[in-house]
Chain A
């Protein structure tokens, strides 16, 4: 069973989540929806504000002057987290504001926007997506009326178009009708071919398109004023990394990234901000272990099914959501590496 605490606290891997996982690909559990509305009724009189569960303010922490980060939970999409399970960042210049990633639903995107509006009234001129995954991008629609440039890797549009149907369907399935309401895919209007510099007044953001790694449309953004780098899902910390691009590409990129001289780095999933190279070492170890184990299976003539049972299991204690993503990672790694 899920206690109210389990439903609300960030980063918990509870049985509640396990249930959610069991239902991931089917209809979301009615029991949980009922539980949620039951809570709303029973807690409302005690707390004294009726929509308590729906109107919490989205937390933004200032990690460097003019840079605010919201930390998402280490969870799968669910009606309870409403897509609040990745990191989103806000950079405030003298003239304008840029948002990097918008969380995973229209609803939570609106809360992100409200939280931004509570700290600045400067115009939101850029909405940058680090890559195509729904948990980073379904909140884009909440910024539509600000008329920003939606900035992405030059392959982002193609990636999204090829997946729009399955992204819409699976997000609706996992978030439930309520939390999914109003969500749509907003495509990039400004494309990063190689590098692109965005001026916010007194500071600029350098966006760099990467080769295939986490996905085939990963972007790294660096703030010139504070030397803060936003790695998107090229950096996972605490939350197990997920592979939707190329393992070989990602490992090669990690080799470059760990030597970057920046003041701090913001992961796509993990703490608000971290230091290199330490931040990226656990991820490097995870993928190195997975690659080595999978290569050994392939060399020994073992098949995919055997590999999914044991490859990379030594990494289990190091990561949240291991059971939810690891086998998929091994499957993707095997299908890539067997062609070497």
Chain B
């Protein structure tokens, strides 16, 4: 686990750097393969990664209609046994490529069906999207898809500027009752009201770029058990949104804590909502 966190720290630095370069970084084009090889080295070092072995699947639109809000779902096959250790979502050509780096805890569940993790991301250009999963045995499994989208990173997200900062950090957590009460997993959704500024939008008053301010960590607990901790970047869309499966136990109440880059902490507790239709 230590190497992962080291790589992430490096990425945090890269994120801040990218933010100050802004538009310049946005237009930089490099060969796709070279980009990935470099990213793989930065995040995973020399560790072996198995690609397309049926462990991981990604659902993403072929063409993202709104590059500022691209829905991505990572799924892990029911054939995978035991708990998952970690998961990464990497958008190769974004200024902050590692959108998500997740460490799972005991309440994430074991096996017995599809496990999934969905979020919405910004995409800066046509790009490969990589999902990497670390299974219980420590092996890394990867899947990539190509998504056509561009302009998400500099596209200003708030559609109603006056209301963008209303309820900053308001956290809604929906806990979905599974249709089958004995299912291995249930689903929950986290919504955090936050502009997730990527530092690339101009402040009309100062004519300067808005400094990056985004959710950098999300921690989800069920009682005393960790569901997951995610390190996040501004590749995650405005009003960060996560939807995931976790262990289906009797008391499934979740407590969510998130921290942004201004070191402000936001909390939320799950509410039971109706069963999934």
Contacts and interface: CB of A to CB of B under 8 A. Distances in A.
A302 B161 CA distance: 28
Dominant SS among interface residues on chain A: helix
Interface of A: 22, 25-26, 155, 157-159, 161-166, 169-170, 212, 215-216, 243-246, 249, 299-305, 308, 325, 327-328, 331-332, 335-336, 338-339
A305 B65 contact: no
A328 B59 CA distance: 17
Contact of A332 (B126, B151, B159, B176): B159
B162 A216 contact: yes
Contact of A162 (B61, B201, B243, B277): B201
A161 B204 contact: yes
A215 B158 CA distance: 11
Given A157-B204, A305-B73, A335-B239, A245 B150 contact: no
Given A166-B155, A305-B73, A25 B202 contact: no
Interface of B: 23, 27, 59, 61, 63, 65-67, 69, 71, 73, 118, 120, 125-126, 148-151, 154-156, 159-163, 172, 174, 176, 187, 189, 191, 193, 201-202, 204, 207, 239, 241, 243, 273-277
Nearest to B179: A301
B65 A302 contact: no
B161 A159 contact: yes
Given A25-B126, A163-B156, A164-B202, A305 B162 contact: no
Given A25-B148, A166-B154, A166-B156, A158 B61 contact: no
A328 B277 contact: no
Contacts of A332: 66, 69, 159
A83 to B, nearest CB: 18
Given A25-B126, A162-B201, A304 B71 contact: yes
Contacts of A216: 159-162
A161 B203 CA distance: 8
A327 B202 CA distance: 27
A10 B66 CA distance: 26
B204 to A, nearest CB: 4
A245 B156 CA distance: 12
B159 A165 contact: no
Rank and list the top 5 A-B pairs by shortest CB-CB distance, nearest first. Answer: A300-B277, A328-B65, A161-B204, A301-B276, A25-B150
A308 B71 contact: yes
B71 A301 contact: no
A301 B150 contact: no
Contact of B69 (A26, A163, A331): A331
Most chain B CB inside 10 Å of its own CB: which residue of A244, A303, A339 = A303
A216 B154 CA distance: 19
A158 B149 CA distance: 25
Contacts of B273: 301
A327 B65 contact: yes
Contacts of A163: 155-156
A316 to B, nearest CB: 15
A154 to B, nearest CB: 11
Contacts of B63: 22
A331 B66 contact: yes
Contacts of B243: 303
Nearest to A157: B204
Contacts of A244: 159
A246 B160 contact: yes
Contact of A158 (B71, B159, B193, B204): B204
A327 B148 CA distance: 14
Nearest to B201: A162
A25 B151 CA distance: 8
Contacts of B193: 339
Contact of A305 (B71, B149, B176, B202): B71
Contact of A26 (B66, B126, B156, B241): B126
B159 A301 contact: no
A152 to B, nearest CB: 13
Contact of B156 (A162, A212, A305): A162
Contacts of A22: 63
A166 B23 CA distance: 9
23 contacts: A25-B149, A26-B148, A155-B161, A158-B161, A161-B204, A162-B161, A164-B202, A165-B23, A165-B154, A169-B27, A212-B159, A246-B159, A300-B276, A302-B277, A303-B243, A305-B61, A305-B71, A308-B71, A331-B66, A332-B69, A335-B239, A336-B159, A339-B239
Given A25-B149, A331-B66, A304 B120 contact: yes
Nearest to B239: A335
